[in-house]
Amino acid sequence: MGDDRQVVFFDGFDMSTVPVRDGVRLRVRTGGEGPAVVLLHGHPRTHTTWHLVAPLLAAAGMSVVCPDLRGYGQSSTPEPDAEHHVYSDRAMAGDIASLMQQLGHERFSVVGHDRGSYVAYRTALDHPRLVEKLAVLDCVPIVEALERADACFAELWWHWFFFATEQAERVITADPMAWYQPDARRMGQENYNDMVAAISSPATVQAMLEDYRAGLHVDRSHDEADRDASRRIACPTLVAWSRDDDMEDLYGDPGAIWQSWCEQSPRTAVIESGHHMAEENPHQLASVLGSFLLV
């Protein structure tokens, strides 16, 4: 990433904690002026994964909002329920809709990476009047992934199913650093420190696992119901994936899978990076996002 590591961490951004709904409070960082976009991180990252991308989008003329999702980072970790609704994408999407309204953004775009992508497209499906544009990074809809789950998927994404077991918390919290293996050199020190603080909290680890458990059950059901009802994403959509991740190995052209989920044919892009594209190739990602969001 070269000189990017010398950039002031979230230069010009403010951080706050915002109560959203159901007693949940989200830690959020905001900066810039212009059309609003909310950036949603994946597992096990926090909002600080966007520390190089967010200032670039703000400099391009956007009002940028970076929250920790419910159960992640330093946001609330409400008690799980047996049916996993508390950590469902629908619940998290409601958080994001409430957050953006409270910040004064009546309409906004949503960008999500990894697990954050599921919250992003659920926000677009559940709150179509609020969402102007959607970008999903490194994902296909959960029901599409599960219906394609074969031996290759099981080998590469076995953690989805391990996280559903009762043993997952005990194994991960016994040595979270060994499990997640964060790398300060690759992540940047402040981003690394923030993730380490999050994974060191047993309550946060449990909440992050509940996100996956919801994915296998209630989130899948919500996707199935939308598909059965022919409910589709109304806003312009960008589908992007990492060249050196496993999306093409699993799905060929991920953009083709999204076609039936969108009223308009989605735009596609490939980012020259591994999975953590916001950290590994922030300039290309910010350029791709800016050219889509600001048109």
Q: Is 43 a catalytic residue?
A: no
Catalytic residue among 95, 114, 126, 211: 114
Catalytic residue among 113, 222, 275, 276: 275
The two three-digit tokens of residue 101, written as one number: 């309204």
Q: Is 51 a catalytic residue?
A: no
Q: Which residues are catalytic, by number?
A: 114, 275
